[in-house]
Amino acid sequence: MSAQIVHANKIEGQCTCGAVRYRVQDNMAAFKLCYCSFCQKASGSAHVTNAFTTPEQIEWLDGQDKLATFDVPNSQVRRVFCRVCGTTLPF
Ligand SMILES: [Zn+2]
Ligand SMILES: [Zn+2]
């Protein structure tokens, strides 16, 4: 996933294949580095950086029909990714 900061509170990005583009407007006041087993499994790496926003702040600019979701059992987490290239997307 590539993302660039357009303004201090606006981020635009797209998935690896370019089918899905999004914009997040939030000041991202809270972000955490996490290395719990869920984050490790979800990312396939040792740890992740999570920036927190709300669904209302996420705007899909393109490729909304390419989105796939996975509701993580026993949690309120819904993961969103591109069904073409598998890139993790804002959720
Ligand atoms: Zn994609
Ligand atoms: Zn975690």
- What local confidence, expressed as pLDDT, does residue 81 receive? 93
Q: Where are the domains of the chain?
A: 2-89
Distance 82 CA to ligand 2 centre (A): 21
- What local confidence, expressed as pLDDT, does residue 80 receive? 92
Among the listed ranges 37-41, 60-64, 66-70, 80-84, which one has the minimum average pLDDT value? 37-41
Return the CATH number of the domain spanning residue range 2-89.
Answer: 2.170.150.70
Cα-Cα-Cα-Cα dihedral sign, residues 80, 91, 50, 89? positive
Long-range contacts of 29-36 (CB under 8 A, 24+ apart): none
Distance 71 CA to ligand 2 centre (A): 15
Using the CB atoms, write b or e for 9-20: b if 16+ within 10 Å: eebbbbbeeebb
pLDDT in tens, 29-44: 778 899 999 889 888 8
Distance 1 CA to ligand 1 centre (A): 9
Contact of 86 with 67, CB cutoff 8 Å: no
User: Nearest ligand, CA of residue 35?
Assistant: 2
User: Nearest ligand, CA of residue 15?
Assistant: 1
pTM of the model: 0.76
The size of the chain, in residues, is 91
